[in-house]
Structure 1
Amino acid sequence: MIDYLIVGQGLAGSCLAMQLISAGKKVLVLDTPAQNRSSLIAAGLFNPITGKAMSRTWMAPEIFNWLHEFYPKAEQLLNNKFFYRVPVYRPFLSVQEQNEWMAQSADVNYRDFIETIYTGATYGHQVHDHFGGMVIKQSGYVDVPAFLEAARYWLQQQAAFEVDAFNEAALQIDERKIEYGPWQAAAIVFCTGTAIRNSTLWRGLPVQPLKGETLTIKMTSQPEQIYNRGVYIVPSGPLSYKVGATYEAHNLTEEITEAARMELEQRTRELLRLPFEIVAQEWGVRPTSPDRRPMLGRHPEWKNVLIFNGLGTKGVSLAPYFATQMAQWLVGGPEIISQVNIKRFKALYSKP
């Protein structure tokens, strides 16, 4: 019998499967890889200072310390290169912003993540940075498609992956085991992203879809950093860069849009001085939660039905840390922290 049947081989499912297998558990991952649109189009940026307010991201010390340990080990295990440490340069828009970050850089909560503050144009040959900018450290990107492909190949070598368009109606659950097709498992973990909204088991869980669109651009010159102001510009191949992203919670059409293209192109021109050519546009839908925290835990009725979801726009940084936390919990370790435990939504998905 399998210990854990994992549905979905995006960032959540891949990281969790790797951690459970390393803990000695027998795992089988089911997925149809082409459907992982959120993971496959991701630029893979990890950045400890984010958002419009440019604040330190939630649990940054713990999460970033672990991702810098997890991905290099994963590269060795999977025999592939997909983890890149690259500084992020964010230009300032005013002297006031420059002064605010000069003060902020001395704050104990920020000094581990800010490399340098520049008070004058530094990369002016590449970006508009008349007022200088700041260099953020502990940042970089993961080549997500390369990571997922390497993880899938490794899982296949462990006899731990099968291509399957999961059909929940065919799932049989009792207190002792899970049965699905030819497989029996002690438990099942749903790592299906926004597809969880079609689940009858998780009907009331408030997974919110957030559509994002990105551009791929070509340039004749290579940026010296990852640039991030209005858009991010992240390497995706030789002189090829991913630009993103839009955030759309209402118009969830499964297609690219001209409005998103125009928005991203305008923001890119406002940031870059370098000429560029748009060569591709892609879309995906991210799974988010009302409080922008991941969703981990156990079904209220079936104790052998579990979930790892809601990674949103920060899956590259959140997945390794919380996959590790969940794997440790499943093998008898500490309880999942309350901020991500789905018990916080109990009133929304439990039967009255």
Structure 2
Amino acid sequence: MHTEFLIIGQGISGTFLSWCLRRANRSFIVIDDGDKHSSSRVASGIINPVTGRRIVKTWMIDELMPFALNSYELLGRELGITAISKKNVIDFFPSPQMLLAFRERIREGSGYISFPENENQFRESFNYDFGFGEISPCYAVNLPELLPAWRKKLINHNQLSDEHFNFPELTVTDKIHYKDITAEKIIFCDGVHSADNNYFKNLPFAFNKGEALIIEANLPTDKVFKKTTSIVPLGSNLFWTGSSYEWNFDNNHPTEQFRDRTLQQLKSWLKVPFKIVDHLASVRPATIERRPFAGIHPHHPAVGILNGMGTKGCSLAPWFAEQLTNQLVNNIPVIPEANINRFRRILN
């Protein structure tokens, strides 16, 4: 079986790369085993234009967010689903200092943030002492529906092989050979597994583990709520609650420590009853520079990568999948800040 591109992984990066290649009328096969612990299948799906305690704009967000919104709307229409919806973040201040920092950012003219007209509007649902701000616009990507819907479409078009990719069976010459598949290029979109890949194991990944609870509660569903943890509506009175950032970990399993800590946070924050219905965990393919890895291997022109999205995958993946597609199809390089050519000295 011959194809132009062999894509490893169907998380958010592999999904958008395969979608972009389809729109460019290029042939491809995706290999993915549907791992329920992959970071894309555990993520909240939120696109938030500001980040951190300093309340600063995330990298490239002015370009990334409108592009992502258009991409999700197009893909959603193609699949017959609502792939993205606007859900602004209500940021409850945990301390007077955070209130003052937020106010100072507004005074400086920082975009995307504002104070509400009525700071009592959520008193029935939440305990809060220092008010809140609103971050707008923010979006929720419907990952639990989007990824399976695209997977189903790939299967229907005989473009997905439901299996675990076995690296020792890969042979790279001027072309790609894997089992009965030959391809012009192979692109790794397989998250943390790229660290075990001989071609990309030297890249400066900085994996971190995240956990989340799925709770059932009678809370507003048109916003995302954030304090010491975040609460993201999923529908049917279910909410994603998390996440943690653990740099030292032994596995990708849920822990009692996270469950107990988050349970106590929710008990002190929420005024409504809730129950835990699931507990998720995964390892994020973050990078030391907090920039993605995209492009063609500088020493192996048949091998490429789209990875390292970290916590910003929903905003980064559409843009950089399009960037990589332009490199693959039109020989227009990925922008230098994300192009893996910047690591040519350490890749072999």
Distance in 2, matches of 1:20 and 1:223, equals 35
In the alignment, which residue of structure 2 is the partner of 1:32?
33
Matched, 1:174 2:156: no
* Matches for 1:154-173 after TM superposition, within 5 Å: 154-173=153-172
In the alignment, which residue of structure 1 is the partner of 2:42?
41
Q: CA deviation at 1:30?
A: 0.7
Call closer, same or farther: CA 1:94–1:165 in 2, change over 3 Å: closer
CA deviations 1:101-121 (Å, max 9, x no partner) are 33423555x32x235445843
Q: Which amino acid aligns with 2:271?
A: R
* Matches for 1:1-352 after TM superposition, within 5 Å: 1-34=2-35, 37-95=38-96, 97-105=98-106, 107=108, 110-111=110-111, 113-114=112-113, 116-117=115-116, 120-175=119-174, 177-332=175-330, 334-350=332-348
TM-score for both structures, normalised by structure 1: 0.92
Q: Which amino acid aligns with 1:155?
A: L
Q: Is the 8 A contact 2:224 2:232 kept in 1?
A: yes
Q: CA deviation at 1:164?
A: 2.3
Q: Which amino acid aligns with 1:144?
A: L
SS of equivalent to 1:104:
helix
Q: Percent identical across equivalent pairs?
A: 30
Distance in 1, matches of 2:100 and 2:200, equals 48
Q: Is the 8 A contact 1:190 1:307 kept in 2?
A: yes
Distance in 1, matches of 2:121 and 2:100, equals 17
Q: Is the 8 A contact 1:120 1:129 kept in 2?
A: no
Gaps of 5+ in 2: none
Gaps of 5+ in 1: none
Distance in 2, matches of 1:168 and 1:76, equals 35
Distance in 1, matches of 2:86 and 2:119, equals 25
Q: Is the 8 A contact 1:39 1:145 kept in 2?
A: no
Q: CA deviation at 1:224?
A: 4.9
Q: CA deviation at 1:150?
A: 0.8
Q: CA deviation at 1:91?
A: 1.6
Deviating more after overlay: 88-97 vs 291-300: 88-97
CA deviations 1:214-250 (Å, max 9, x no partner) are 0011113435521011111011231111100011111
Q: CA deviation at 1:94?
A: 4.7
Distance in 1, matches of 2:39 and 2:317, equals 13
TM-score for both structures, normalised by structure 2: 0.93
Q: Which amino acid aligns with 1:105?
A: I
Deviating more after overlay: 188-197 vs 98-107: 98-107
Q: CA deviation at 1:190?
A: 0.5
Distance in 2, matches of 1:149 and 1:323, equals 19
Q: Is the 8 A contact 1:118 1:133 kept in 2?
A: no
CA deviations 1:61-107 (Å, max 9, x no partner) are 01111111111111111122232211110123455543443342355
Distance in 1, matches of 2:160 and 2:246, equals 33
Call closer, same or farther: CA 1:269–1:293 in 2, change over 3 Å: farther
Q: Which amino acid aligns with 2:122?
A: Y
Deviating more after overlay: 220-229 vs 114-123: 114-123
Call closer, same or farther: CA 1:72–1:6 in 2, change over 3 Å: same
SS of equivalent to 2:124:
coil
SS of equivalent to 1:222:
coil
Q: CA deviation at 1:174?
A: 1.3
Superposed CA RMSD in Å reads 2.0
Q: CA deviation at 1:255?
A: 1.6
Call closer, same or farther: CA 1:53–1:104 in 2, change over 3 Å: closer
